């Protein structure tokens, strides 16, 4: 934990002038929640959502009714897939001068595996300090 804090601090220091990098593993576990959902009303409007988004709070609650607005300030919901088994991973966040660049990676189900046969979307909830404008990259 100490090491993690140190890494975050270092990143902030290194990129303080123009940009700095936050690796996924540096995010506190309570500030990152990724998963998948087959809830039609959750994924029907997908993309990225912040606290100002109309559907932000609703999406939060659809995943877990215990979540509060204070828990996260950014949600990304992927385009729905034909089955389960997809996994969305946060790779890194780059804080630029006037925005946050958030990099996700969506992994397909493992080769030869079976998957639940419901239309499913992956998602990640994030709490990012001093969240600015956001750009999301998916690979």
Partner 1 sequence: MKNISKILAILSLPLILSACGGGGGSGGAAAGGVGTGTVTNCTDGGGSTHKDTEYDYFSSVYHSLKPLTAVCASSAYARGATGDGIQVAVVDTGIHETHTDINANMIAYTTGSDTVNSDNDASDDHGHGSHVAGIIAAEHNSSGGHGVAYDAEIYGFKAFNSSGSGTDASTGGAFALIEAIAAIDIVNNSWSTNANCTSASTCRSAIGSTTYDNWEDMSQLSTPKITVFAAGNDSEDEPSAECQTMAYNTDISAVSICVVAVSHSSLGKDGGFLASFSNQCGKAASYCMAAPGDRLLSLRHNSNGYVYKNGTSMAAPMVSGGLALVMQEFSSLTPAQVVSRLLSTANDSGEYSQTAIYGHGMMNLNAATTAVANLQTINGSNLLDDPSTGYNDLVNNTFTSSAAFSNALTNALAGQTMEVYDSFDRANFETNVSSFFTSGSYTSQNTVENHMARLQPKTMEKVKTKNLYGNFTVETDGNYIESSMFQSAGDFLALGFNQSTNSFENAVDPLSGFFNDSNFGNNYLVNPYFHAGSGQDYFMSFNSNSSFGMDTFTNANGNDLGLAFNLNPLSSTSGDAKNAGDLQIVLGTNYEQNKFLNSSSTGVFATGDMSNTNFTGVKYKKNLGDDFTFVGSGFAGYTHIDKASNSYIDKSTPLLTSTFTLGLAKANFIKKNQRIGFFINQPQRVEDGSLNLRVPTSSDRDRTVTYSNLNVDLEPDARQINYDIIFHKAVTETSNLSANLTHVQNGDHSNSSKDQNFISLFYKKTF
Give the residues lining the site for partner 1 (CB under 8 A).
Answer: 35-41, 46-48, 50, 52-53, 62, 64-65, 78-87, 99, 106, 108-110, 112-120, 132-136, 138
DSSP-derived pairing of the beta strands 87-95 and 20-23: antiparallel
Give the residue carrying structure tokens 């600015």.
132
Q: How far is the CB of 49 from partner 1 (least distance, A)?
A: 8
In contact, 55 and 49? CB cutoff 8 Å: yes
Q: In terms of CB distance, is 71 or 106 closer to partner 1?
A: 106
Q: How far is the CB of 73 from partner 1 (least distance, A)?
A: 11
Determine the Cα angle at 83 with ends 33 and 68, to 5°. 25
Q: In terms of CB distance, is 5 or 44 closer to partner 1?
A: 44
Q: How far is the CB of 122 from partner 1 (least distance, A)?
A: 8
Q: How far is the CB of 96 from partner 1 (least distance, A)?
A: 12
Contacts of 66 (CB under 8 A, 6+ apart): none
Determine the Cα angle at 83 with ends 118 and 120, to 5°. 65
Q: In terms of CB distance, is 27 or 56 closer to partner 1?
A: 56
CA distance 126 to 31: 5
Q: In terms of CB distance, is 7 or 53 closer to partner 1?
A: 53
């Amino acid at each position: 934990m100490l090491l993690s804090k140190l890494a975050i601090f270092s990143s902030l220091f290194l990129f303080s002038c123009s940009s700095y990098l936050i690796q996924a593993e540096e995010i506190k576990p309570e500030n990152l929640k990724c998963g998948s959902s087959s809830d039609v009303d959750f994924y029907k409007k997908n993309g990225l959502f912040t606290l100002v988004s109309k559907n932000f709070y609703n999406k939060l609650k659809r995943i877990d009714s215990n979540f509060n607005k204070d828990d996260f300030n950014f949600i990304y919901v992927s385009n729905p897939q034909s089955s389960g088994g997809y996994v969305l991973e946060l790779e890194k966040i780059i804080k630029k001068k006037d925005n946050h660049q958030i990099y996700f990676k969506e992994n397909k189900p493992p080769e030869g595996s079976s998957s639940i046969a419901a239309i499913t979307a992956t998602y990640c909830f994030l709490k990012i300090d001093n969240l600015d404008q956001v750009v999301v990259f998916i690979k």
